[in-house]
């Protein structure tokens, strides 16, 4: 595709007016040749034909001049008395008026037809150019390839140098594609491009904004906001893009912006798909390993418990300590495996919440019984109001939440410290809190402590217990959070709705 000027290559105005004068002279010369053989009415038709020839060039001014010259030449050279603008018969005045009116109407209609034809040709030309650009953008992959193909296309169409800018992570524009012959861009050019990106408005040559710039800057609009900027610098410095070229360029810019947006969405979708697949594989591995661990762990814990029951080992203090340590650590590892299984089940959607009305003191009591050995060196205070209503929950899962919160409190507090479990009803919910007397939480830990596999300061856990708590509470349509206590320690709070029963 070759470069285009505005529409058809228009003739200079003085040439069009000169053409009108030339046609009038030629028509007059031809009329002199046929004057002896034809009536004056036939000469009028000859002048109208000349005016039509001028009008076909598509300009109203020269067509009007041709109409006026035709009437004057016809009057001066052929209407009696000849070679004078006086007329011997008043009826010729009517002839002149009709002749001029007819010439003007013919020229007006011809110019309109020419302009419509020109508009149709320009529309077809723009369609072809847009189709070519669309084909190039469709086959391009990545922002670099898209911008390179688009810049080459625009450079050829508009005979200009094209520079493409795209934003970096900080939102500042960087040059993505720049012609070698343009050399280094000045800070002024970069500043104008940044302004265009932030405002979403064109600037530079032929615009109202920053018109002193030596190039035209056009934003590349995506689906909602600009995704880059094009800098178009004509190779002829004095040349400014005409209005129809600006319209075509704006269409190009919009098409390029959408292509960049689609490419970005495609890359994000690919990245998300990879992350989902990696998470699925990790969950599958954890689930498989956890299942494989359960049987030997159960055997280890059971064997240690059986040995502790042997009469001949009860008095052997050192052996008993070793067996108790095996049993305790085996139970802790068993809880870790159980957490892994619960995490994978919750993520896969395999866990169904089965709500029933429970006295919450029973849920707390069951959790404390299961952690009996772990809590032997802690003082646990349970605060329950007498009028606490029944709570619609999945008892097994909420018990697991309390176990994980209590185990977390034990892990981060010194021996003989106090753990407080309190429950109260408020605003249609039951509020449960587990407070400890440990070192408390940092700002980062408060924001991330419920993230899966997150390890806070000096945390020996796997980073799953609190993540499981959040998943279970959210499945109950509740809320869970952590904060620091006044003075010393941390408190983990959760709310569970009272108003919804299981179906």
Distances (CA, A) of 151 to 87, 137, 143, 223, 236: 66, 11, 12, 21, 18
How far, in Å, CA of 436 to CA of 8, rounded?
83
- In this predicted structure, what is the pLDDT of residue 484? 93
- In this predicted structure, what is the pLDDT of residue 342? 67
Q: For residue 422, give the H/E element and its range.
A: strand 418-426
- Of 418, 388, 402, nearest to 489 (Cα)? 418
Distances (CA, A) of 206 to 216, 246, 263: 7, 9, 31
Backbone angles phi, psi at 161, to 5 degrees: -95, 130
- The answer to whether the beta carbons of residues 428 and 499 sit under 8 Å apart is yes
**Average confidence (pLDDT) per 10 residues, the chain, 503 residues:** 41 75 89 85 83 77 82 85 79 73 75 73 65 71 81 78 85 76 72 89 84 85 84 74 75 83 84 78 65 72 76 71 78 72 65 86 92 87 92 90 91 90 92 92 87 66 77 90 89 88 40
- In this predicted structure, what is the pLDDT of residue 43? 84
Residue 22: CB atoms within 10 Å? 13
- In this predicted structure, what is the pLDDT of residue 1? 41
Domains of the chain by range and CATH?
A: 13-135 (no CATH), 146-267 (3.30.450.40), 351-497 (3.30.565.10)
- In this predicted structure, what is the pLDDT of residue 129? 65
How far, in Å, CA of 116 to CA of 52, rounded?
17
Long-range contacts of 286-291 (CB under 8 A, 24+ apart): 286/340, 286/343, 286/344, 287/340, 287/341, 287/344, 287/345, 289/340, 290/337, 290/338, 290/340, 290/341, 290/344, 291/341
């Amino acid at each position: 595709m070759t470069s285009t000027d505005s529409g058809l290559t228009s003739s200079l105005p003085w040439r069009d007016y000169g053409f009108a004068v030339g046609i009038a002279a030629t028509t007059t010369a031809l009329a002199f040749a046929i004057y002896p053989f034809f009536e004056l009415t036939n000469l009028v038709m000859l002048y109208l034909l000349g005016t039509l020839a001028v009008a076909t060039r598509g300009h109203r001014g020269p067509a009007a001049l041709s109409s006026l010259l035709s009437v004057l030449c016809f009057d001066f050279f052929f209407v009696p008395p000849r070679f004078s603008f006086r007329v011997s018969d008043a009826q010729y005045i009517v002839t002149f008026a009709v002749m001029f009116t007819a010439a003007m109407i013919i020229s007006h209609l011809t110019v309109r037809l020419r302009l419509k034809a020109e508009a149709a040709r320009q529309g077809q030309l723009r369609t072809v150019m847009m189709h070519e650009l669309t084909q190039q953008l469709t086959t391009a992959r990545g922002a670099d390839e898209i911008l390179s193909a688009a810049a080459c296309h625009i450079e050829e169409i508009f005979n200009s140098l094209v520079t493409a800018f795209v934003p970096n992570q900080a939102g500042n524009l960087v040059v993505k594609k720049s012609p070698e012959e343009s050399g280094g861009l000045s800070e002024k050019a970069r500043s104008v491009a940044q302004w265009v990106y932030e405002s979403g408005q064109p600037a530079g040559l032929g615009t109202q904004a920053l018109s002193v710039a030596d190039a035209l800057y056009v934003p590349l609009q995506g689906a909602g906001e600009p995704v880059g900027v094009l800098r178009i610098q004509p190779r002829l410095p004095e040349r400014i893009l005409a209005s129809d070229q600006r319209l075509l360029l704006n269409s190009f810019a919009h098409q390029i912006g959408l292509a960049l947006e689609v490419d970005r969405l495609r890359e994000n979708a690919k990245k998300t798909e990879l992350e989902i697949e990696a998470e699925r594989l990790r969950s599958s591995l954890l689930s498989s390993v956890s299942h494989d661990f359960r049987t030997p762990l159960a055997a280890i814990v059971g064997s240690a418990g059986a040995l502790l029951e042997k009469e001949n080992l009860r008095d052997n203090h050192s052996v008993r300590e070793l067996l108790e340590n095996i049993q305790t650590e085996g139970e802790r590892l068993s809880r870790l495996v159980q957490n892994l299984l619960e995490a994978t089940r919750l993520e896969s959607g395999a866990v169904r919440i089965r709500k029933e009305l429970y006295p919450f003191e029973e849920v707390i009591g069951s959790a404390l019984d299961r952690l009996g050995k772990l809590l032997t060196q802690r003082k646990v205070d349970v605060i329950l109001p007498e009028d606490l209503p029944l709570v619609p929950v999945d008892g097994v899962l909420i018990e697991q939440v309390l176990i994980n919160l209590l185990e977390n409190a034990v892990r981060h507090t010194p021996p003989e410290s106090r753990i407080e479990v309190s429950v109260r009803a408020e605003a249609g919910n039951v509020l449960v809190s587990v407070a400890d007397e440990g070192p408390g939480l940092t700002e980062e830990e408060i924001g991330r402590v419920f993230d899966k596999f997150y390890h806070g300061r000096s945390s020996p856990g796997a980073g799953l217990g609190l993540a499981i708590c959040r998943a279970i509470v959210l499945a109950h349509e509740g809320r869970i959070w952590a904060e620091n206590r006044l003075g010393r320690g941390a408190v983990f709070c959760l709310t569970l709705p009272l108003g919804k029963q299981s179906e």
